[in-house]
Chain A
Amino acid sequence: DTAVSQTPKYLVTQMGNDKSIKCEQNLGHDTMYWYKQDSKKFLKIMFSYNNKELIINETVPNRFSPKSPDKAHLNLHINSLELGDSAVYFCASSQITGGNSPLHFGNGTRLTVT
């Protein structure tokens, strides 16, 4: 059973297109995240949602719009894709209630914009 699953695993698209990445967690966690890992392998947080409410937004361009239909899902929609958006995007979840429980990451979506 995959705890945090992302689809698709690979996404190749052209500049200017709009695309979505889906994420689901079956851990019963109340908080979900999107992280981006660039070509230099640095991982940085983009967003976090707690019970469907946005709690962290790290100055990500508004072309990126996360959507959380319920606390088990956090999807990432990207408008007008640019070459610089090429990266690996990781979804994660944790139980924020009580604090300091670890993050569980999915295996990433490799986005390539041509």
Chain B
Amino acid sequence: EVQLVETGGGLVQPGRSLKLSCVASGFTFNNYWMSWTRQAPGKGLEWVASITNSGGSTYYPDSVKGRFTISRDNAQNTLYLQMNSLRSEDTATYYCTRGSYVFAYWGQGTLVTVSS
């Protein structure tokens, strides 16, 4: 059974940093692209970042480019999202998702709240 478990969310002040982790199990992690998608409270879904299976290439929308960094450790079956210079508009539940352009598996999400 595919499982994706996110951790690392919490309350953080504007301008500060936070790093999310996602531990994957139930599939061969290094065979798949991985992504992060977020959802602000009561709002819709927004793609945040994707990374190739080797980790050699990464992709971001303009809203987070230069502030967020997606990475992975294939030996540890773990996906990361380093978030710097956080803003109030980054407040959201962050989901770890398996896939490059379509997301068949989602974690339960971790809530990030950016507030002073």
Task: Tell me whether A and B are bound partners.
Answer: no
Identify the B interface with A (CB < 8 A). none
The chain A residues found within 8 Å of chain B, CB to CB, are none
